[in-house]
Structure 1
Amino acid sequence: VQEHHAIIMTKTVPTTEKLNSLSKLEKQVYDMVLRTTLAMFADPYEYEETTILTQIGEALFKATGKVPTNQGWKLLFKADTETSKDKEDTI
């Protein structure tokens, strides 16, 4: 799947007046497209991952944790992830 050229940023920068005239949903879509476009050019997200395997009897349990070392493109979506329940576990 490739990007759809109808939903990428163009060279035309809207004025403050034009942005203020957008509905709440239109502003959210514009913001999402803008952040996604900028994320393509941002640094990569990097992390260290730790995996622990524990065997109890015949059952094998796996725990995985991640510690970010470079937030990279995720900084553009920080406000979205702060309210998200999908937080990464750290070990």
Structure 2
Amino acid sequence: MLKTRETRVEERKEEKRSEKRDRILRSAEAAIFLDKGFHAASMNEIAEAANVSTPHLYNFYASKAALALAVQLKMGQETFDALKTAMSAGEKNP
């Protein structure tokens, strides 16, 4: 099935939004939360590190707590994926 121009435009917008969300999460995790801690971190610093405006950051995450939760979920998923990979590698090479 051929995609319409509108569908391609919407897909591209969502792809850019997803990339921006990932950049925000990486910035919050690495540059701010792990370095300064939750209480010392500010949404302004996170926005600056992610190269987005602070109001735009709030379009993605309603609060610092919501952003911290998203970072924790991302880190948990990465840990789970790494363990799953290691376990499946161990099954192939006993």
Compute the TM-score of the two structures, normalised by the length of structure 2. 0.28
Higher-Rg structure is 1
Q: Give the strand-richer structure, 1 or 2.
A: 1
Q: Give the helix-richer structure, 1 or 2.
A: 2
